[in-house]
Amino acid sequence: MNLFIAELEELEIGEYLVNEPLSKHTTWKIGGTADLMILPRGKKQLISLIKLLGKHSIPWTSIGRGSNMLVSDKGIRGVVIKPTDGLDYVRFEGNTVIAGAAYSFIKLAVMASKQSLTGLEFAGGIPGTVGGAVYMNAGAHGSDVSRIFKSAEIVLSNGELVTYKSDDMKFSYRHSVLQEMSGFVVEASFELEAGDRQVITAEMAKHKGRRLLTQPLQLACAGSVFRNPPGDFSARLIEEAGLKGFQCGGAQVSELHANFIINTGQATAKDVFALITHIQGVVKERYGIELIPEVLVMGER
């Protein structure tokens, strides 16, 4: 690793942090340390970094704003890449919006509304980055990334920069091909439609009001924990099973929204794992339905 760091410094790729606590980088505020966290300054630096990691056979993981993920208490071995300012940009070309991997997905929706472009209203409450949203095919309110996705620039594990179109992404419910391969979204473009700014703004405000009333957004959480089973809602099943407020250590099923697990202050990943397993067991026994986690589980187990 010392030789790798020396080459990293020589290439001036960006800031790096040794034994960085990942609890500082996840919305659950949970997670052990990363051996090395690297914050590349831009696209060229990111490509150089991926090539250097390959040269030294060092495993790597990417992280955005740390929502929708659970990092183990033992942390992540190898390198964690976190894109920063150089990949935090947006531009509009007619009805197409192009954004860097580090750009806020919520902010993207707001910026689109200011351009009187419709199609991103669903994104107004998804607290992640553009890169993470594409990776997960993030969605809400009956829509998702796949509905508006045009293309993405992706750095493959060998450092090659490729462009994927919608058909290449193999989108499905909370899934993309990126979950089956080692690749890093650099930027993505979305095809929107011209709309009425007042109507778009009103729709986003309605969604926001509902979220504030029904989701524990002021607390440490990671968004919806389980995918919705076909024709039903995980929150309904968990609530009807009497699990609202149920707690394992510092992890608790939200009293406000049953498909959210909150960190009450000192929760560990072990607590969250235990609570997820308990919920799955109760719902399976009562309804015969296997709840599948939506959150990504990362790190050494």
Enumerate the active-site residues: 174, 224, 294
> Taking a C-beta distance cutoff of 8 angstroms, is the pair 295, 70 a contact?
yes
Q: How far apart are CA 219 and CA 122, in angstroms?
A: 22
> Taking a C-beta distance cutoff of 8 angstroms, is the pair 227, 173 a contact?
yes
Buried b (16+ CB within 10 A) or exposed e, 221-254: bbbbbbbbbeeeebbebbbebebbebbbebbbbb
Nearest alpha carbon to residue 61 among 40, 76, 45, 41: 76
Cβ contacts of 197 within 8 Å, gap of 6 or more: 113, 114, 116
> Taking a C-beta distance cutoff of 8 angstroms, is the pair 246, 253 a contact?
yes
DSSP 8-state class, residue 227: P
Question: What's the half-sphere exposure (Cβ side, CA atoms, 13 Å) at 154?
Answer: 24
For tokens 């942090």, what's the residue? 17
> Taking a C-beta distance cutoff of 8 angstroms, is the pair 40, 12 a contact?
no
3-state secondary structure of 284: helix
The β-bridge partners of 162 are: 154
DSSP run (H or E) holding 235: helix 234-240
DSSP 8-state class, residue 132: H
